[in-house]
Chains A and B, each alone.
Chain A
Amino acid sequence: MTALRFGIGIAVVFAASLALAQVVGDKGGADKRRSGARDMGEALQKMQDDDTANPGMLFVQLGGQLWAKAAGTAGKSCADCHDGAAASMKGVAARYPAMPRDGDRPLDLEDRINLCRAVHQQAGNLPPESRELLALTAYVAHQSRGLPIAPPADARLAPFRAQGAEIFRRRQGQLDLSCAICHDDNAGKKLAGVTIPEAHPTGYPIYRLEWQTLGSLKRRLRNCLVGMRAEPYPYEASEYVVLELFLMERARGMTLESPGVRP
């Protein structure tokens, strides 16, 4: 009995150190992580880098207009509290998802915008993937472009991050795949002629040419789930936020490039 318990203990420690080794391994020596942008063709990379050719910038422009526009019964705009986003929102997207001061669950950028609307503007929630929410998210995320991803050192986030790591490695769907099988074990190889990216959330919200519009990380994750023939979680599910927490930790130190362009 003791031997069995000891064995389980060893297994747990081993699994934990494996997970740790991966995170540390990412940082030790030369950083071999690749943003999905580098797997794109030259034309698309140019499109992303040119602010007058990147269609995501149209949403950033729209977000800037919405930032200054009053909303809700309080009649306040984002700018009334936060002033210029260039200063006040710099670095925000690099550290989200985060735990609100007196909250009990982590919020992503979209949740945070909707919380701000509810509390300070007394306005209704913007629905997921609505043009307004995407535009505001893109505008806020754009202020952190070029900054390294820096998840906060908040102990309350640890259990949620672990949950995200668990989902990332959990097999699901009819194809019995996990996120890790493609994006950790087989990244860089081909899937139907397309390079499998390492799945670092460096450019969200992204303008995906296939979507012909801007889309959130949630939408991208739903896409992957459908591809695995798994049931996508509903939009308000906590799974997306914990996955994003894990992915941001996995991409710690990588440069944000929002709004990204993807094929």
Chain B
Amino acid sequence: MANVLVNAPKIAKRGTIVEIKALILHPMETGFRPGPNGRIIPRNIIERFTATWNGATIFDMEMSPAIAANPFVSFFAVASESGTVGLRWTGDEGFVVEERVAIAVE
């Protein structure tokens, strides 16, 4: 079960700048903390977050262990054509989550 909250405008005027905000449920375990048994809890973070607009990459971000759990990412893009914004989070332990939102440009 993937838990993602995306906030993007449904409609945008052509040529304007829109803000896209995305929040995802993830522990972002640093790999530096000992667990209750004294052993280090293995690292489990999101390594990369990318956003595409109709397939073309508009935002690409590398994440590090210093980022808090449930990372919230906000970025801007120029609304040039109607289409789908694809968001993709990939990380340790085979973590892959994809989310799509449609934005109509007029």
Q: Check A53/B68 contact, CB under 8 A, given A58-B23, A65-B1.
A: no
B70 touches A58 (CB 8 A): yes
For residue A212, which residues in chain B have a CB less than 8 angstroms away from its CB? 28, 68-70
Identify which of B2-10, B42-50, B58-66, B87-95 touches chain A: B2-10
**B residues adjacent to A (C-beta < 8 A):** 1, 3-7, 21, 23-25, 28, 68-70, 72
27 of the cross-chain contacts (CB-CB < 8 Å) are: A52-B6, A52-B7, A53-B7, A53-B23, A55-B23, A55-B70, A57-B5, A57-B23, A58-B3, A58-B5, A58-B23, A58-B24, A59-B3, A61-B3, A61-B5, A61-B25, A62-B1, A62-B25, A65-B1, A65-B3, A209-B68, A212-B28, A212-B68, A212-B69, A212-B70, A213-B69, A213-B70
Asked whether any CB of chain B lies closer than 8 Å to the CB of A51, the reply is yes
For residue B4, which residues in chain A have a CB less than 8 angstroms away from its CB? 58
For residue B3, which residues in chain A have a CB less than 8 angstroms away from its CB? 58-59, 61-62, 65
Taking the closest CB of chain A, its distance from the CB of B30, in whole angstroms, is: 11
Tally A residues with Cβ within 8 Å of B: 14
Q: Check A53/B72 contact, CB under 8 A, given A58-B5, A58-B23, A58-B25.
A: yes
The CB with the most chain B CB atoms within 10 A, among A57, A58, A65, A209, is that of A58
Taking the closest CB of chain B, its distance from the CB of A206, in whole angstroms, is: 14
Closest to A213 in B: B69
Q: Which 3 residue pairs spanning A and B have beta carbons closest together?
A: A52-B7, A212-B69, A58-B25
A55 touches B1 (CB 8 A): no
